[in-house]
Chains A and B, each alone.
Chain A
């Protein structure tokens, strides 16, 4: 094949059009998506200084004309030593994992229900799942404030029914954060699940029934394994962004809701400590590399199928 290889190389050199098709987006993404991560890594190793930009240079010329390299691991040590960061990381992972599970438990019957609905109902039902996603995320989270707060809809209803005497504290709790995340990310779970479930061959279920498998058993041993690609894709689409979520814990969570996205935001905007914010981002990235890679592998496979 070497001659063919050479020929294709020659052809490629002859064709600047082809090079620009992949070259332009590649260049854009390298500059605006790849490069920033190097910069984050660099700034996470510097120290906070007063000035603009508020971080120290790694390389500097000393007075004797010596090029100095100052690398500070203090920010990363801080992440390990100060329990705030550790708790925020574990808190985020826990919230994201539980919310993903809840999304799956609610999203699966929804996706299954859509595939089993009469054919002319399917498109409208799908549209109804997609519609909230197109309206503002921020405003949908905000809607829960009116429902959950002390004199909000739920408390008013329960008081009116006489079930409670005192308004319950629902807003600014961990419960509200779970609710908000499940609510906001539910469409991301339903859509990939629907995509795999709708491709499923229905005769497999009939075969299982003929072989004496009860519906629940057929569901567990046929439907669930076949929909695994949708389960994985949906779970990753919920889990990874939920770990770094800022808006929901900020608006619905309480002062003791510790999530890493909020910590990063506070370090950056309130404490103006860019190096610590950068090191939080690096740690978060390290945490998410595995799930993101998994998602990527998975998407490639889906693309080929």
Chain B
């Protein structure tokens, strides 16, 4: 009786993992397929990787996406850290509940609403202030920062909550100014959270189709936008190759992160 249920749990778990990975494995396998028909095996080939490297449109879009993602992640970490610190360390200030709400809401808000809302704001601002002129990388970046700073703030918050305040108090007792305490004590202690937040913001931005589609203008097509339009036309083996490279990069990153986590847990 006691043996039976864990078995059920573990077999359901195995099914869950198979479900999560079957599509990814199929993408990787068929990225090495000679045939253009994605689901018919025509022999091993790496030609789609070559085709990917010569696809100017995809490469251009990837470059646009990368620049937006780096810019977004960096600014989102700065703003998100400020928000996280304020929410955890300042118990009472005017606008605290507004800040808490606006940090929490983007986590669950549907993309279509965020996208439409940002676009309408940019159009209204252009009408009233003359800025931003037209839409493109800048407007996409601003819209991305707005929702990814929420994720950074949440990560920083959960790290700060678990932080031992006695180190900061000691520094303060020894006469350090609040800013000095923050930069010399708090910041190094929450550095892992900042790194995680940066990577998450980077990935969210690189991955976003809906918000970018709303806030983009002519000449600023991001990678997901180009992938989406080529996927709508049908299945394309080049996308499989792209997916495989992406999975490989992410796996390397996750393995390194997991390894360092386990090492830290061991010490």
CB-contact partner of A36 in B39, B121, B224, under 8 A: B121
Contact B235 A149 (CB under 8 A): yes
Please report the C-alpha to C-alpha distance between residue A127 and residue B258 in the assembled complex, in whole angstroms: 7
Contact A219 B27 (CB under 8 A): no
Q: Does A138 contact B (CB under 8 A)?
A: yes
Contact B111 A241 (CB under 8 A): yes
**Knowing A26-B99, A36-B120, A130-B254 touch, does A143 contact B27 (C-beta < 8 A)?**
yes
Contact A113 B12 (CB under 8 A): yes
Stretch in A17-25, A63-71, A78-86, A224-232 with 4+ CB within 8 Å of B: A17-25
Please report the C-alpha to C-alpha distance between residue A18 and residue B6 in the assembled complex, in whole angstroms: 52
Contact B110 A135 (CB under 8 A): no
Among B6, B13, B26, B224, chain A packs the most CB atoms within 10 A around the CB of: B13
**Knowing A129-B20, A137-B207, A295-B108 touch, does A281 contact B83 (C-beta < 8 A)?**
no
**Knowing A143-B27, A144-B23 touch, does A109 contact B8 (C-beta < 8 A)?**
yes
* Chain B residues whose CB sits within 8 angstroms of the CB of A127 once the complex forms: 254-255, 257-258
* Chain B residues whose CB sits within 8 angstroms of the CB of A241 once the complex forms: 108-111
**B224 to chain A: closest residue by CB:** A138
Q: Does A285 contact B (CB under 8 A)?
A: yes
0/1 string, B138-156, CB within 8 A of A gives 1 = 0000110110010001100
Contact A24 B231 (CB under 8 A): no
Q: Does A243 contact B (CB under 8 A)?
A: yes
Interface residues of A in 19-51 (CB under 8 A from B): 20-22, 24-26, 28-37, 39-40, 43
Contact A132 B254 (CB under 8 A): no
Please report the C-alpha to C-alpha distance between residue A295 and residue B103 in the assembled complex, in whole angstroms: 12
Please report the C-alpha to C-alpha distance between residue A106 and residue B20 in the assembled complex, in whole angstroms: 11
Interface residues of A in 95-110 (CB under 8 A from B): 106-107, 109-110
Contact B39 A153 (CB under 8 A): yes
**B96 to chain A: closest residue by CB:** A22
CB-contact partner of A281 in B26, B98, B116, B243, under 8 A: B116
Contact B207 A109 (CB under 8 A): no
**A115 to chain B: closest residue by CB:** B9
Stretch in B53-61, B66-74, B85-93 with 4+ CB within 8 Å of A: B85-93
0/1 string, A177-205, CB within 8 A of B gives 1 = 00000010011001000000000000000
Interface residues of A in 113-146 (CB under 8 A from B): 113-114, 116, 123-124, 127-132, 134-140, 142-146
Contact B79 A109 (CB under 8 A): no
* Chain B residues whose CB sits within 8 angstroms of the CB of A93 once the complex forms: none
**Knowing A21-B82, A131-B251 touch, does A136 contact B224 (C-beta < 8 A)?**
yes
Contact A22 B116 (CB under 8 A): no
0/1 string, B107-139, CB within 8 A of A gives 1 = 111111100111011011001000000000000
Please report the C-alpha to C-alpha distance between residue A222 and residue B239 in the assembled complex, in whole angstroms: 47
Contact B109 A34 (CB under 8 A): no
Please report the C-alpha to C-alpha distance between residue A35 and residue B10 in the assembled complex, in whole angstroms: 48
Please report the C-alpha to C-alpha distance between residue A142 and residue B178 in the assembled complex, in whole angstroms: 50
Among A128, A131, A245, chain B packs the most CB atoms within 10 A around the CB of: A131
Please report the C-alpha to C-alpha distance between residue A113 and residue B6 in the assembled complex, in whole angstroms: 8
* Chain A residues whose CB sits within 8 angstroms of the CB of B206 once the complex forms: 136
* Chain A residues whose CB sits within 8 angstroms of the CB of B85 once the complex forms: 21
**Knowing A24-B82, A292-B109, A303-B157 touch, does A123 contact B235 (C-beta < 8 A)?**
no
Please report the C-alpha to C-alpha distance between residue A219 and residue B5 in the assembled complex, in whole angstroms: 10
Q: Does A253 contact B (CB under 8 A)?
A: no
Contact B116 A268 (CB under 8 A): yes
Interface residues of A in 239-263 (CB under 8 A from B): 240-241, 243-247, 251, 261
Contact B258 A40 (CB under 8 A): no
* Chain B residues whose CB sits within 8 angstroms of the CB of A136 once the complex forms: 206-207, 224, 227, 243, 246
Contact B110 A245 (CB under 8 A): yes
Question: When A and B form their complex, which 5 residue pairs have the shortest distance between CB atoms, in order from nearest?
Answer: A244-B110, A113-B13, A22-B86, A36-B117, A143-B23
Mark B residues whose CB is within 8 Å of A. Answer: 1-2, 4-6, 8-10, 12-13, 15-17, 19-24, 26-27, 30, 37-40, 79-80, 82-83, 85-88, 90, 93, 95-96, 98-113, 116-118, 120-121, 123-124, 127, 142-143, 145-146, 149, 153-154, 157-158, 161, 178-179, 203, 206-207, 209-210, 213-214, 224, 227-228, 231-232, 235, 239, 242-243, 246-247, 250-251, 253-255, 257-258, 261-262, 265
15 A-B residue contacts at CB 8 Å? A22-B95, A35-B121, A36-B120, A40-B120, A110-B17, A112-B13, A113-B10, A113-B13, A116-B9, A138-B209, A183-B19, A246-B111, A285-B113, A296-B100, A300-B100
